[in-house]
Amino acid sequence: MMVEALLPPLLLLLASFTGVCPWRTRQTYVRAGEMVVLYCSHDRHGDAKVIWTSSSSQERDLADMSSAEQTQLGLLVRGRSLVILNASVNNQGNYSCSPGSRLWFSLIVCTPQSRECEERTQYPHICYRQEACTLNCPEVNIPAVSITNITSNGIIWNKPKDGYFSSVEENDHGVYTCTRSYLYRRQEYHMTFTVVLQVKPKEKKKVPVITSPRNRDVFEVDLGATLVVDCKAVMYADLDDVLWFHGKSEVETNNSFPVFYNYTREVKGAEIKMTASLVFKKVSEEDLSKSYTCRLDAVSGSSSFVTITLAQKAHPSYVSLALAVVGVMVVMVLAVVIYVRFKMNITLFLRDTLGCHSSISDGKSYDAFVMCYKSDTDAGLNEDDRKCLESALEERFGYTLCLYDRDVSPGKAAAEAVLDCIEQSRAVVLVPTSPDPGPGSGLLSAIHAALVERQTRLIFIQTETTEATRSGSLPEALQLLGEAGDCVTWKGMSSMPHSSSFWKQLRYHLPAPREASNIKRETFTCSNLGCYLMPE
């Protein structure tokens, strides 16, 4: 602050001592032998007489000199202009003009060898590739048109003619010379300038453009809803504009209309970003049938536009959704029904074909303990049927059985032996027999307790008659066992074939046989006459 405030008075002080304002000295270069004009551009003092002085003429008013003296010095004073027609080293020096604070000119006359002069008198010019290019001969220190007797006699370029290129190329880059000629008293005087042409790659033309929406965009909307469609554009001229139309007519900009548009403009450097917002207060059926056009009017000439339409929002069909859900549910129910209905077949099929055998080692020696109980009716299995059942289980289906009359050591007490057997088996099969060969029904209660305690699987084979009269007629112990286990009904003759449902059920309820190698691929055929071994 301090320095800035002090500087102007200091400089004025300096000027009043030396008579020279250092910041007002203008250096002017002229080639020896050429013309130069110094112009006193004081604008404050109106028509006051301009006094030119030269440092080489003892501060005399040059205008007061006779024209002979002026001619001798090679000078010509014409109002505000000081003309030097044919500059020589003698003209070099300081010139000033007044009124007011003096303007100083430092005239430097260049010899053709002077490098500095060459540089100081070059003027740059830029043109773009493959575009027309006109060089301008500089108008520096040239005589004002108002000076009488000095007339311009044209400009000559060393090349090209008139300094004009119809299409400039990179190799046109270089230094060009123009010479201005003036006539004074039938004598020709010259001023030479050099212009340095620089050829640059073509400048990309900036084209105004609509950035969104895109042409033919469809806006989905619910009837009665409010919709705003923003048309965004980037432009480069103040007069460029963005408008909304439907058909040939412009959309209203008055916001009391149901459809109108408003806009914002944002200037960022050379860019103008404009957003014209088309507002539908409540979208109507009629709006859906129309198309709207956003138009960019550019002063550069190229207008562009995008057209949009509205469409009613499509809601997902609930019918097809419901159908799909019902379909999935039907498939699930079917799958469950099929599984329940064919659970047994599926399980047995897997066991038979894929060899799904129980491989868990639970320390038990038998797959099942087959035990008889006394059937009240004579529908129970007779001796042969029972034997057939046992051998089919062992031979045909590969089960390892514990049989009371075969595997129980005779020495033991019956009850103890039976419990031992149950302990060693993974399942218990209770078979009704007519002549009771078993250990007697007295054991049944003990068996029930043992089964519950050990959680051993129980398959309770019953006859059709037992099934019918189950409640009531059976001893209580048997009833308990029937309820605790899986029941399989023996239907006499029809149950004998190995493909019968009796066998399927029995096998299904039994655990898978442990040792697959025990399966013998032979077929027993049983009848009430006994069992036969049929090679397959």
Interacting residues of 134 by C-beta distance below 8 A, sequence separation 6+: 162, 163, 164, 165
Task: Tell the residue number behind the tokens 């046989």, with chain if given.
Answer: 513
- Letters for 498-517 (x = contact with ligand NAG by CB under 6 A, - = none) are --------------------
Distances (CA, A) of 414 to 32, 404, 430: 150, 9, 16
Judged by CB under 6 A, which stretch of 40-48, 251-259, 363-371, 517-525 contacts ligand NAG? 251-259
Interacting residues of 74 by C-beta distance below 8 A, sequence separation 6+: 84, 85, 86, 87, 88, 90, 91
One residue of 70, 121, 130, 277 binding ligand NAG per CB under 6 A:
277
Q: Residue 355 and residue 352: Cα distance in Å, rounded?
A: 5
Judged by CB under 6 A, which stretch of 6-14, 256-264, 322-330, 398-406 contacts ligand NAG? 256-264
- Letters for 26-55 (x = contact with ligand NAG by CB under 6 A, - = none) are -----------------------------x
- Residues 498 and 396 sit within 8 Å (Cβ to Cβ): yes
> The tokens of 271 are what?
């860019």
Closest CB to ligand NAG among residues 277, 358: 277
Closest CB to ligand NAG among residues 233, 279: 279
Closest CB to ligand NAG among residues 31, 102: 102
One residue of 254, 317, 320, 455 binding ligand NAG per CB under 6 A:
254
Number of residues that bind ligand NAG (CB under 6 A): 13
One residue of 57, 114, 153, 262 binding ligand NAG per CB under 6 A:
262
- Residues 491 and 504 sit within 8 Å (Cβ to Cβ): no
Cα four-point dihedral sign 338, 339, 342, 348 = positive
> The tokens of 179 are what?
């010479």
Shortest distance in whole angstroms from residue 260 CB to ligand NAG? 7
Q: Which residues pair with 460 in a beta bridge?
A: 430, 487
Closest CB to ligand NAG among residues 107, 178: 107
Asked if 101 is part of the footprint of ligand NAG (rule: CB under 6 A), the reply reads: no
Judged by CB under 6 A, which stretch of 128-136, 255-263, 369-377, 498-506 contacts ligand NAG? 255-263
- Letters for 53-92 (x = contact with ligand NAG by CB under 6 A, - = none) are --x-------------------------------------
Closest CB to ligand NAG among residues 106, 441: 106
Shortest distance in whole angstroms from residue 93 CB to ligand NAG? 4
Number of continuous H segments (helices) and E segments (strands) in the chain: 13, 29
β-pairing verdict for 51-54 and 218-221:
unpaired
Closest CB to ligand NAG among residues 94, 358: 94
Judged by CB under 6 A, which stretch of 125-133, 253-261, 315-323, 467-475 contacts ligand NAG? 253-261
- Residues 404 and 422 sit within 8 Å (Cβ to Cβ): no
> The tokens of 441 are what?
């029904």
Radius of gyration of the chain (CA): 61
Asked if 94 is part of the footprint of ligand NAG (rule: CB under 6 A), the reply reads: yes
Q: Residue 91 and residue 82: Cα distance in Å, rounded?
A: 12
Q: Binding residues for ligand NAG, per CB under 6 A?
A: 20, 25, 55, 93-94, 106, 254-256, 262, 264, 277, 279
